[in-house]
Structure 1
Amino acid sequence: MRVLTLAATIAVLMTSQVQAAPQPAPRWAIVVHGGAGVIERSQLTPEQEKAYRAAMTRVTQAGAKVLEDGGSAMDAIEATIHLLEDDPLFNAGRGAVFTAEGRNELDASMMDGRTLAAGAVAGATRTRHPISLARAVMEKSPHVMLIGEGANAFSKAQGLEQVEPGYFFTERRWKSLENFLKANGLPVPAKPAGADQPDPANGLAHDEGKHGTVGVVALDSRGDVAAGTSTGGTTGKRWGRVGDSPIIGAGTYASNTSCAVSATGTGEYFIRLTVARDICALVELKGMSLQAAADEVVQKKLTALGGDGGIIAVAPDGQIAWSYNTSGMYRAAAAEGRPLTVGIYKDEP
């Protein structure tokens, strides 16, 4: 009996040691968000929830494949955001919200954590993939940000795919604009040319409120991190309003000395707090874990200021984090040797 008890004890100890052993740091990792906001179980039909989970799974798998094959963090981010910009479920590219004048004005940014090179565009109207335009600004111009017609002209000169403005039109975003303008006593403009197309989302898209943005952060097998963000902005925006998404340090930031961050939320607050850079600074200068730094900025500083939204982040050592103070955020993550995870609601991991 003593022998059996001893053997059992050894087995338990061995099992505990195996379970307690830390996972090796992944060589690559990717985190994706599709916007934060009023996203609650009671508001999404089963069909809508299935569509969003499928979309987040599909785009994350695509980015993970780039990294798994040895591709760079920058390439993985661009490839993933291309898919998000083409998916009318999200407020970026096709499916972007409208300004008060009835236009789709698109913002995007990218940053390379290895070199601190960055590129951004605001108010672009004819580039199918604004994230590629942001990368072109970074790699093929001496500038960091281009706006409006200048961004359009640069895009065309670089040979990026051009589309007519009507390409971005979706009926549900137009209806959101009409409701916003009527509620604020503003005139409703005429629909843009090319607006007579069928709903490309088949009625599955959900209005997440004012926080629709897409973003990706990635770590590649060379140990480099990068971040990218793309958005249509806010419904009914006026006077050339620009949010945090194309502003380096606010909606996007990446450095190999700390982490990479992409944000989504009420941009004015993210700009005031330089949310993305602040998280990276806490990691680099205070030695905080990535999750602790993210929560410090989002749950405490952003919330105290009255702002709402969320972030995703990844560090060069493989740490992954997200934090948001809204009721939901479309999010997904994958890493070497770990299963892909997808979440929408607050009560999910």
Structure 2
Amino acid sequence: MIVIANNEGKSGIPTAARLLAAGAPGLDALEAGIELVEDDEEVCTVGRGGWPNLLGEVELDASAMHGTSLRTGAVGGLKGFRHPIRVARQVLERLPHELLIGAGAERFAAEIGAERIELLTERSRGAWQRWFEAEVSEEDRRRWPEVALERYCHDAVDPEIGKDTTVFLAQDAERHLVSGTSTSGWGWKYPGRLGDSPIIGAGSYADSRYGACACTGAGEMTIRAGTSRAVVLYMKMGMSVGRAVEEAINDMRALQGGLLNRVTIHAIDNRGNHRVVAVNGMEGNHYWLWTPGMDAPQAFPAEIVEITPQVTRKKGAMSVYTRPDGMPG
């Protein structure tokens, strides 16, 4: 057995570990742990109290995956409900679909009796109001919200750089691997923006035969590289969990532009090994780990790997790059 959570999972991982130790299914343990993070208003990137979008609305994303059935459930842009992870889990359990967004996700949440709640707290409302008054032109404030948001999306500064989505990975007593994510996304994001958290294969992936992976940071980057699925695929190809993460990082070197210094990769294999790497990360980035024999989950520093995106050159109609091992990408 093993459970890993990123730095934001502090409030939930003790419960997840306790449930796993008692023999609970992995998805039950992860859902219970993530719900506690969603309720923790000190975490401003998950659940109630999460940073709002440019319009001052909190939109929540979440996902769950069972690595034995390979079933997934995810929601994106969910407004007004307390626990998006619970709604995502029920998508997995009840529907023939994998992902619901916006009004459809909200309709399903109401249908299953999910708890409604005001997601915008005084803290997050005040932070948004200060941004609005400082950054939005006087003319646009008069016409708000009937204004073009594009330039504000580019100019907006996330009020909590370096803080993340919460991600949990676990292997339960029956050796099922599972993954779960939950987030309010990028602070001051364009309304309707989805990061990697609800995108299976980008933000998370689990396959009980091989391993599981989940990412935090700028989801735009892991969407482009399909990072979580890539890590698991490299394990399927016979690589160790550590080597698989390294190869997924090599994939990211091909990306042109974006926020590569905002990605942390968390991975476990089906034998209880793990690796957590922060790409161009900051000191202090850490994760939580529990395995049998530990009295309580412990925090460990994420390994920091520095990378520089490769310079591309045109060759016919193709853009190619050279990997650090000298092989063509």
Normalised-by-shorter TM-score class: 0.7 to 0.9
Answer yes or no: is 1:67 the counterpart of 2:20. yes
With structure 1 as the length reference, what TM-score do the two structures score? 0.74
- Provide the C-alpha distance between the structure 2 equivalents of 1:297 and 1:211, rounded to a whole number of angstroms: 22
Letter of the aligned partner of 1:64 in structure 2?
A
Answer yes or no: is 1:85 the counterpart of 2:38. yes
1:168-183 matched pairs, under 5 angstroms: 168-172=120-124, 174-175=126-127, 178-179=130-131, 182-183=134-135
Q: Deviations over 1:64-104 (max 9, x none)?
A: 10100001111111011011101122211112111111100
Letter of the aligned partner of 2:251 in structure 1?
K
Answer yes or no: is 1:312 the counterpart of 2:285. no
Residue 272 (structure 1) shift: 0.5
1:190-201 matched pairs, under 5 angstroms: none
Aligned to 2:152: none
Alignment CA distance shift 1:177-1:134 (3 Å): farther
Letter of the aligned partner of 2:179 in structure 1?
A
SS of the residue corresponding to residue 285 of structure 2 reads strand
Answer yes or no: is 1:33 the counterpart of 2:6. yes
- Provide the C-alpha distance between the structure 2 equivalents of 1:254 and 1:126, rounded to a whole number of angstroms: 29
Residue 110 (structure 1) shift: 0.5
Aligned to 1:160: 114
Residue 296 (structure 1) shift: 2.7
Letter of the aligned partner of 2:288 in structure 1?
A
Alignment CA distance shift 1:85-1:337 (3 Å): same
1:45-124 matched pairs, under 5 angstroms: 56=10, 58-90=11-43, 91-124=45-78
Residue 252 (structure 1) shift: 1.2
Q: Deviations over 1:317-347 (max 9, x none)?
A: 1112211122143410000124632146768
Note if contact 2:159-2:187 (Cα within 8 Å) is conserved in structure 1: no
Q: Please, which runs of 5 or more residues in structure 1 have no aligned partner?
A: 1-27, 36-54, 191-205
Percent of aligned pairs with the same residue?
A: 33
SS of the residue corresponding to residue 179 of structure 1 reads helix
- Provide the C-alpha distance between the structure 1 equivalents of 2:136 and 2:223, rounded to a whole number of angstroms: 25
Higher helix share: 1
- Provide the C-alpha distance between the structure 2 equivalents of 1:113 and 1:219, rounded to a whole number of angstroms: 9
- Provide the C-alpha distance between the structure 1 equivalents of 2:142 and 2:61, rounded to a whole number of angstroms: 23
- Provide the C-alpha distance between the structure 1 equivalents of 2:143 and 2:70, rounded to a whole number of angstroms: 41
Aligned to 1:19: none
- Provide the C-alpha distance between the structure 2 equivalents of 1:32 and 1:277, rounded to a whole number of angstroms: 18
Q: Which one has a bigger Cα radius of gyration?
A: 1
Note if contact 1:34-1:213 (Cα within 8 Å) is conserved in structure 2: no
- Provide the C-alpha distance between the structure 2 equivalents of 1:31 and 1:134, rounded to a whole number of angstroms: 20
Answer yes or no: is 1:331 the counterpart of 2:278. no
Note if contact 2:52-2:187 (Cα within 8 Å) is conserved in structure 1: yes
SS of the residue corresponding to residue 263 of structure 1 reads strand
Q: Deviations over 1:130-169 (max 9, x none)?
A: 0010001111111101111111110111111122x3x442
- Provide the C-alpha distance between the structure 2 equivalents of 1:291 and 1:187, rounded to a whole number of angstroms: 50
Residue 236 (structure 1) shift: 1.3
Letter of the aligned partner of 1:337 in structure 2?
G
Note if contact 2:52-2:120 (Cα within 8 Å) is conserved in structure 1: no
Q: Which has the higher contact order (CA 8 A, sep 6+)?
A: 1
Note if contact 1:100-1:177 (Cα within 8 Å) is conserved in structure 2: no
- Provide the C-alpha distance between the structure 2 equivalents of 1:147 and 1:256, rounded to a whole number of angstroms: 27
Residue 119 (structure 1) shift: 0.5
Residue 187 (structure 1) shift: 4.2
Q: What is the aligned-residue RMSD (CA, Å)?
A: 2.5
Q: Count residues in correspondence.
A: 281
Aligned to 1:9: none
Aligned to 1:3: none
Q: Among residues 233, 240, 243, which one is paired with 2:195 in the alignment?
A: 243
- Provide the C-alpha distance between the structure 2 equivalents of 1:181 and 1:331, rounded to a whole number of angstroms: 36
SS of the residue corresponding to residue 222 of structure 1 reads coil
SS of the residue corresponding to residue 47 of structure 2 reads coil
Note if contact 1:119-1:138 (Cα within 8 Å) is conserved in structure 2: yes
Residue 189 (structure 1) shift: 10
Letter of the aligned partner of 2:287 in structure 1?
R
Q: Among residues 292, 299, 312, which one is paired with 1:342 in the alignment?
A: 299
- Provide the C-alpha distance between the structure 2 equivalents of 1:158 and 1:220, rounded to a whole number of angstroms: 27
SS of the residue corresponding to residue 283 of structure 1 reads helix
Alignment CA distance shift 1:258-1:346 (3 Å): closer
1:131-142 matched pairs, under 5 angstroms: 131-142=85-96
Alignment CA distance shift 1:342-1:177 (3 Å): farther
The runs of 4+ residues in structure 1 deviating greater than 6 Å are none
SS of the residue corresponding to residue 13 of structure 2 reads helix
Residue 177 (structure 1) shift: 6.5
Q: Please, which runs of 5 or more residues in structure 2 have no aligned partner?
A: 145-157, 305-329
Answer yes or no: is 1:256 the counterpart of 2:208. yes
Aligned to 1:292: 243
Answer yes or no: is 1:229 the counterpart of 2:181. yes
Aligned to 1:125: 79
